[in-house]
Amino acid sequence: MKRIKDWEELTIQDNFLFQKVMRNKRLCQHLIEKILQIKIADITYPDTEKTIDIRLDSKSVRLDVYVKDDTGRVFDIEMQCTDEKDNGLAKRTRYYQAMIDMDVLEKGDDYSMLNPAYIIFICTFDAFDRGLPMYTFRNRCVEQDGIELNDEATKIFLNSKGDSEALDPDVRAFLRYVDGKAAEGVFVQEVDKEVRRVKQHDETRREYMTLAMELKRQRQEGIAEGLAEGLAEGSANEKKKIIVTMLQKGLSVEFIADCVQTSAEYIIELGKKQHLL
């Protein structure tokens, strides 16, 4: 189980701090523009009540950074520090896409109203082990190269460990910063300045501490519940071992039932499974 960091330990890699830094509209917009190599006139953050609840620890935390531009395009940026097994990360993008589409469409809207959507994962590892600094995915025809589905859904995985020389200089410097290197260039220096400003903000610190305490409480409750279940399971397994041993010694079903306080039917069923009756 991942340890909950103290406030002083947080870096741009941590979701809470990353979210707060990306609330700086100018920095967030610039990062999206440089990653996608597009121009954006303006971005907005959906109202709190419209933000999508689909995050990990409690299974009801919001997307890291969810914004829309003036043309209706939707952007979700996620900081990802854990490599998930069994294509978990790829499947999570599929789930996120579905939830974003549900959020974009108002009840009764036609599917043609769906706007272009971009899901961007900033990874501190190589999600596909091919050494690329950026992997871009769109739906294409398997049988014929060059035919795109044109559903306007794009998934991007950035790799902070990859050779990023081919990327935009600001994106390259940002990935190095995410990877723990010094802040280089005007843009990343501004990001670092925002990180330090957020960490000096007392109200934000109290918010993090409250969330951390709640998460610890939930974990403790989960551990206690798991321990109780484990003890009950262990007790049942121990009872099975005792019954089997008594049967092996040739003791009667009635005598065993009386000793271990269980039904004769259960003992007979267990004995047959163990080929003892």
- Euclidean distance between CA atoms 185 and 32, whole angstroms: 17
Query: Do the beta carbons of residue 252 and residue 243 sit within 8 Å?
Result: no
Candidates 114, 81, 80; CA nearest to 97 is 114
Mean pLDDT by 10 residues, the chain (277 residues): 82 93 96 97 75 44 81 94 84 88 75 91 95 96 94 96 92 96 96 96 91 77 65 68 79 75 85 87
Query: Do the beta carbons of residue 68 and residue 75 sit within 8 Å?
Result: yes
* Amino acid in the structure at residue 33: E
Candidates 22, 86, 24, 16; CA nearest to 56 is 16
Residue 241 has which token pair? 């071992």
- Euclidean distance between CA atoms 49 and 61, whole angstroms: 12
Is residue 205 classed exposed, middle or buried when 0-12, 13-18 and 19+ CB atoms within 10 A define those classes? middle
Strand partners, 78: 121
Residue linked to tokens 């995915």: 137
Residue 150 has which token pair? 């044109």
Candidates 33, 25, 16; CA nearest to 171 is 33
Handedness of CA 263, 265, 268, 273 (dihedral sign): negative
Quote the pLDDT of residue 224: 66
